[in-house]
Structure 1
Amino acid sequence: MARPYTNEMSKLGETFAWAATVDLKALRQAVRSAGLSPLRAIGSGGSLTAAHTLVALHQRFTGRLANVATPLEAADEPLDPSVATWLVSAGGGNVDIMAAAKALILREPRQLGVLCGREDSPLAELCRQHPFVDLLLYPPPAGKDGFLATNSLLAFTAVLTRAYAGEFGGDADWDDATAHLEALLVEASGTVTAWEAATAPIWARPTTLVLHGPSTRIGAVDLESKFTEAAIGNLQVADYRNFAHGRHHWLAKRGEASGVLAFVTEADRVLAERTLELIPADIPQARIELAGGASACALASLVAALRMTGWAGFTRGIDPGRPGVPEFGRKLYNLALPRPRRKAAPGRLTPRQVAAIARKSGAEPSDLAASGELDRWREALMEFERRLAEARFAGIVLDYDGTVVDTRHRFETASKGMITELARLADAGAKIAVATGRGRSVRHDLQKTLPRSLWPKILIGYYNGAEVASLDDDEAPDGTATPCAALLPLAEALRRQPELTECARQEDRPFQITLEATRVMPESRLWDLARQVILMAGAEGVSVTRSSHSVDIVAAGVSKLNVIRRLRESVGDGPILAIGDRGRWPGNDYELLREPFALSVDEISIDPATCWHLGEPGQRGPSVTFGYLTELEEEGGRLRFAQGSFR
């Protein structure tokens, strides 16, 4: 049975204290990634208010467009994969959020974030099967909500606000919010008591019009949700100016049955007061005064909405925490979403082949069939698969970040499963090499995890192939911070560029300069700045590549292909399998994945002859690498893909 609403309200202070101190490292990292693109936030019921919060924060702190969708809309309306997509669900178990999650995972958006309040939920379990998903688990201390979203909603709203403020330079904004919310979380505080008295007259009328400004929209949205879900009364929502565009007419015709609730902040006080002065005097008004900046007012409006839901409900004889659910309502809740309108895979393609062609071509195979282009892509895929099946590989070269380890956790060691597969292949006599933009940190991590007996058998190409040495060579790589003569003038020019000085960390090595953003900024911006300096400095012969977290500038002759050349000294001219994650130019695996036998685990080139991503639908990154490695088997001292691989 659901808990009484008063019990839920008594825990708001505890919930906010938790949100103010809980570790947000994972959430901040996900918010940082989301900040590089537009965003769609998806939720239903009370979590839809949290989705509105996420959208408001994203637009305010990043300046990028964001919108809200329900699970039904999200499952039916595919967006460009570059749009960050977030699902918000307190319980992580309802049929709608699960259906949306399954549909979105198969679309493989650049970022799929899932904010959930239950670690053991079906949603969390689904996401664990697809490690590219940013699974963000934040179970609030109050436990499961009653009938309406209360503590979970405040928890999500607070941690999202804190994460965006912290990640985008708004620490003062969060401090301001905590200072102004303190009194509102105390049951009998003077402010809360004043609000209760001010709103009492409007609950005597069946319809409430809620007027708000930009920063208090969250409170208004949540009031509409709760009044409707708990059948507390009719409630309409409008901002101060949209109210003037026809919505005021409700008061002209039904004013005797209506009251007005207005959220008033310093930012919109003048407009609010001029608007409220024009409302007929016989219509009761309740003005909820909120102080502080945008985040403080947004959070305060939500707390006000939670409290006013209780006051209105009790006045009207309804406990919002347990209003009673009719049997038909339970049946409605568990209705499944319509099955996605799947387009038949033409030409008897397997789901894995459908995904591979869609990734490579940028279009659905059914659409390619309609335009007469499918045969070309299918033939290219079949030819690539045939060559892979026939090849007997003399060695393997793998990128590291994004391929062996997840880029989000690149300073952690590779998974046990990955290490087991690498060791299995090395024990079988396979020649293995790693080509990375990093230096000795990769050596340290691999030495921690791989058996010492295998170290001499594994090559590491440091700094994008500037130096190649075996894993047991503790003197490699050269970690001095002095660039070679060819790069020294460029290194100095980069340090003089004002914007780079403010937004990036520069690391100099003998044959490589690495620029890593120190604040949220698009990869393309850091790339453009680096290219501009290179052009202005007249630097010749250097190459520039980028990864998900940095831009690397290397001297002439430096390439990950040097790793393949070094490997060939011991394996001869036999086929070499290359695996990486950034095969699209100017990704740092572009040259490596131009090899005839190249597999991507993420971004791919447009070349139909190589660099295909053949992972399972809804998978990318190290999980795909792991799948590739498990499908390899030893044959006569070489490696081959097992029969039936990639099906």
Structure 2
Amino acid sequence: MAKRSYFEEIQELESTWNDIQSHEIIINPPVNAELFSGCAYCIGSGGSIAIAKLWQLIFEDNHLGMAKTMTPYEFNQFDRVPDIVFLFSASGKNHDILQVFKSAALKGCKIVVFTVTANSALIRLAKSKPDQSVVIYPKVTTPKDGFLAVNSIVAMASVVGQVERSLFGQRKVEDSPVATAFKDHQDNIAFIKELNHGQAIQIISSEWGIPAGHDLETRLAESGVSPCFLTDPRNFAHGRFIWLETYRDCFVVLFGTPQSKPFLKRFIKALPEFITPYYICAPYEGLYGAVYCLTHSILIFSELAKVKALDPGRPVVPEWGRKLHSLRLSPKDTAGGDLSKTARDKRTQYPAFEMTFGGIVSDIDGTLLETENRFSGIGRDIGIEMNRLLHEGLLLAFATGRGKSALELLRNSISREFWPQIIVGLYNGTQIIRLDENLDEKLEPEWSSLQSIAFKVKEICSGIPRAELTIRQTQITVEGINKNQSAFIEQELSRAFGQGTKFMKLGQSGHSLDILPYWANKLNVLEKMNIFPKQNILGIGDQGQLGGNDEDLLGWKPSVSVGKSRPVSNACFWLGKDERLRGEQGMLRLLKAIEQVDGGFKLGIKIFDY
């Protein structure tokens, strides 16, 4: 382990901040803010806990959803599946974080990695799951830490700041919060030294000062410099003042920003005369306020260490401590256990296994057949299973982004006798037709905004090589684009139409971007099925992720996903979590597992027999 002097490391803080702020960061693949939304876990270990907390504040401040900061051990004790997991590791080699990545990947979570080390084990893991993970790191190299996280804290905070500006367009403050904190620290150093004599430290943090509270608590605990207590101003008032009354020589540190200043001033005024707290109030709100307070935490700690004549960057680590650090959690130590072995035991939590149904609504491309084979026809085995179920009385319906080609595809696989009872929702449910009907004779629905939207999409796509545009009465389809180009089109449409985007709907399929009227929905097919709502209907698709064109269908209860991306709905049974059971293979397994029972059909447990 590298052992650098803590007091040398802190001299590099300002240059570390400036280097990252003046260079671009890598976000691979590029993302927009919408893809970061949902229920989130922010996971860090040691010093990275403060950065995880900082990201939680940014995440919630930008209304992306609810977030919770936790350690890797806490994550392993939760048998819940968030929409997205944010991992924070400066070195990218923390074995606890690596294990969390593997566990989150198995659970099907979207994973975002923040690090400052480009060539690390964590980055390599993320690259092995390109459809599930995003990696974020700076282009420039940063100074190595000693025993404690020093420059990496400022570096990670700087990266987080770059991401916030990239996603949300937050204003950049010209003053360096690190330089400002250094100056203010020097102005108050005599006061700090006068107070710095206590036997324990009471840390009280508020708003954007909360990450600094976690940071100082971590430094004190990991160095042995002093015992400490961390809380917020109101929780402190619930009896925690007894410690200060009993041990009056404690050093009290408060972190806050302008928002909490009026209350903290009243808080300080209410303290007895024998308590003279050191109050750090950042001159900024938001990320810059947090970085200002974090820098103060690093500098205050250096003064505390000097009093004890310790260099925290060069501790004497006991052998038993090394043994503790090297311990690994096994699958049986976690709440979920071995996920591959517990899938069978967890099947009853999904409506797809609990509910009896009388019909199915299925997507086509990526579900009935592989996307790359969408012009080759439905597989013979799947055709056999569909006809078997139709003979047994199960009602089949289909919802697809396709038009006439979907009808031809289905007619080639399904016996003619069943065509009159099969409903097909073309163009993502905007045009409903029976399989025995002639599409050319059907009256097309109108989309009043089509022309203006199509004009703008043409303009955007003119600058995208290989983009192929198809305009239909109720659907604009862009093919030949990748995910980044698709996200770019979405952003440009949002800029062009503003609130008018509420009158359009965008859906990702395995091979295209569909722009649709706001009333487009694959669930429109259900209303036309003659058994609805008397009997349940099972939804099946592959694009149930946020923005996927099966998101609504797989949000239905009951539903099953055969896709490689985790569906948004936790109630949807994700069969495609196992790569062997995705797409056509997953659909075949599912159809074979449907059994006739009293009152309809059920999904049998033999779906797990593989």
Q: Same fold (TM over 0.5)?
A: yes
Equivalent residues of 2:545, 2:565 under 8 A apart: no
Hey, what does 1:449 align to over in structure 2? none
Supply the distance in 1 between the matched residues of 2:270 and 2:107 (Cα, whole angstroms).
Answer: 51
* CA RMSD of superposed structures (Å): 5.0
Hey, what does 1:122 align to over in structure 2? 121
Matched, 1:396 2:396: no
Hey, what does 1:205 align to over in structure 2? 198
Hey, what does 1:365 align to over in structure 2? 344
Cα deviation code 1:274-325 (max 9, x no counterpart):
2112222223322224212222211100010111111111111111211221
* Gaps in structure 1 of 5+ consecutive residues: 359-363, 378-390, 400-434, 438-462, 467-483, 496-506, 532-543, 560-578, 629-645
Equivalent residues of 1:93, 1:122 under 8 A apart: yes
Amino acid at match of 1:327: E
1:373 shift after superposition: 8.9
Identity %: 22
Hey, what does 2:424 align to over in structure 1? none
1:494 shift after superposition: 7.3
Equivalent residues of 1:41, 1:68 under 8 A apart: yes
Q: Taking structure 1 as reference, are residues 157 and 125 closer, same or farther at Cα in structure 2, changes over 3 Å only? A: same
Equivalent residues of 2:17, 2:178 under 8 A apart: no
Hey, what does 2:80 align to over in structure 1? 79
Equivalent residues of 1:261, 1:287 under 8 A apart: yes
Supply the distance in 2 between the matched residues of 1:342 and 1:262 (Cα, whole angstroms).
Answer: 37
Cα deviation code 1:180-199 (max 9, x no counterpart):
5153365xx3x231132221
The residue correspondences of 1:98-177 to structure 2 (distance < 5 A) are 98-109=98-109, 111-138=110-137, 141-169=141-169, 171-172=170-171, 175-176=172-173
Give SS of 1:613's match.
Answer: helix
Hey, what does 2:290 align to over in structure 1? 298
Equivalent residues of 2:117, 2:141 under 8 A apart: no
1:335 shift after superposition: 0.8
1:488 shift after superposition: 6.3
The residue correspondences of 1:528-543 to structure 2 (distance < 5 A) are 529-530=502-503
1:591 shift after superposition: 13
Supply the distance in 2 between the matched residues of 1:113 and 1:331 (Cα, whole angstroms).
Answer: 30
Q: Taking structure 1 as reference, are residues 323 and 114 closer, same or farther at Cα in structure 2, changes over 3 Å only? A: same
Amino acid at match of 2:296: A
Supply the distance in 1 between the matched residues of 2:282 and 2:350 (Cα, whole angstroms).
Answer: 58
Give SS of 1:10's match.
Answer: helix
Amino acid at match of 1:97: I
Amino acid at match of 2:179: A
Supply the distance in 1 between the matched residues of 2:309 and 2:579 (Cα, whole angstroms).
Answer: 54
Cα deviation code 1:114-158 (max 9, x no counterpart):
222333322222222222232425266333311111111111112
Hey, what does 2:175 align to over in structure 1? 179
Matched, 1:61 2:53: no
Hey, what does 1:215 align to over in structure 2? 208
Q: Taking structure 1 as reference, are residues 528 and 368 closer, same or farther at Cα in structure 2, changes over 3 Å only? A: farther
Matched, 1:330 2:329: no
Amino acid at match of 1:316: K
Cα deviation code 1:247-269 (max 9, x no counterpart):
222111111x2122223533222
Hey, what does 2:94 align to over in structure 1? 94
Supply the distance in 2 between the matched residues of 1:627 and 1:529 (Cα, whole angstroms).
Answer: 34
The residue correspondences of 1:497-516 to structure 2 (distance < 5 A) are 509=471, 511=473, 512-513=475-476
Equivalent residues of 1:87, 1:113 under 8 A apart: yes
Hey, what does 1:569 align to over in structure 2? none
The residue correspondences of 1:101-500 to structure 2 (distance < 5 A) are 101-109=101-109, 111-138=110-137, 141-169=141-169, 171-172=170-171, 175-176=172-173, 178-181=174-177, 183-184=179-180, 189=183, 191-255=184-248, 257-340=249-332, 351=340, 364-368=343-347, 396-397=373-374, 489-491=448-450
Supply the distance in 2 between the matched residues of 1:95 and 1:327 (Cα, whole angstroms).
Answer: 19
Q: Taking structure 1 as reference, are residues 326 and 590 closer, same or farther at Cα in structure 2, changes over 3 Å only? A: closer
Supply the distance in 2 between the matched residues of 1:591 and 1:220 (Cα, whole angstroms).
Answer: 42
* Gaps in structure 2 of 5+ consecutive residues: 357-367, 377-399, 403-426, 431-442, 455-468, 478-485, 523-539, 555-560, 588-608
Amino acid at match of 1:224: E
Hey, what does 2:380 align to over in structure 1? none
Amino acid at match of 2:222: E
Matched, 1:546 2:507: yes
Supply the distance in 2 between the matched residues of 1:345 and 1:282 (Cα, whole angstroms).
Answer: 52
Q: Taking structure 1 as reference, are residues 147 and 134 closer, same or farther at Cα in structure 2, changes over 3 Å only? A: same
Supply the distance in 2 between the matched residues of 1:242 and 1:550 (Cα, whole angstroms).
Answer: 50
Hey, what does 2:38 align to over in structure 1? 37
Cα deviation code 1:422-448 (max 9, x no counterpart):
xxxxxxxxxxxxx999xxxxxxxxxxx
Hey, what does 1:4 align to over in structure 2? 5
Give SS of 1:546's match.
Answer: strand
Amino acid at match of 1:183: A
1:85 shift after superposition: 0.8
Equivalent residues of 1:71, 1:97 under 8 A apart: yes
1:64 shift after superposition: 2.0
Give SS of 2:316's match.
Answer: coil
Q: Taking structure 1 as reference, are residues 587 and 370 closer, same or farther at Cα in structure 2, changes over 3 Å only? A: closer
Hey, what does 1:16 align to over in structure 2? 17
1:230 shift after superposition: 0.7
TM-score, scaled relative to structure 1: 0.60
Deviates more, 1:118-127 or 1:37-46: 118-127
Supply the distance in 1 between the matched residues of 2:287 and 2:308 (Cα, whole angstroms).
Answer: 32
